[in-house]
Amino acid sequence: MDIMGLIHDWADVIWIPIAAVSVHKGQRIKAVVFVLFCMATMRLQDELIRDTGYETGYLNFMHSDIFNRAQISYSVFIVLYLILSHYSPNTKGAVYMAASISIYFMAFFTSMFIMLL
């Protein structure tokens, strides 16, 4: 594998230090875990669709690579999550976790829909 392919495949790792720096002290671990779960889920979704033999999605509506679409959609939700985390510093732990799980599932279903196109 060439270096540009490696950079392309792991470009979303840049969100880990951004998540650790951009949120408040009590939210750092949760934000980094959120980014790690998004990265893992994106790769699992990509493998699931590729293993069925569809490189550009089941419907072939969009002709771009499904991994690129997944990276873009998850990056949008990670940015949304980090912005919401930054502007809600006094959120209680249970409420913050509920919001994190909600945004995670929104990212999951949205990216799956976009990847299937």
pLDDT at 110: 97
How many domains are contained in the chain? Answer: 1
Which three-class secondary structure state does DSSP give residue 67?
helix
Domain that holds residue 8: 3-116
pLDDT at 61: 87
Residue 57, CB-side half-sphere exposure with 13 Å CA sphere: 19
55-82 pLDDT tens trace: 888 888 888 899 999 999 999 999 999 9
103-116 pLDDT tens trace: 999 999 999 999 98
Of 23, 17, 34, nearest to 87 by C-alpha is: 23
pLDDT at 108: 97
Q: At 90, which helix (H) or strand (E)? A: none
Q: Where is pLDDT greater, at 18 or 6? A: 18
pLDDT band at 5 (very low <50, low <70, confident <90, very high): confident
- Mean pLDDT for 42-47 is 95
pTM of the model: 0.92
Residues in the chain: 117
pLDDT at 9: 87
pLDDT band at 1 (very low <50, low <70, confident <90, very high): low
Q: How is residue 13 written in tokens?
A: 């790792």
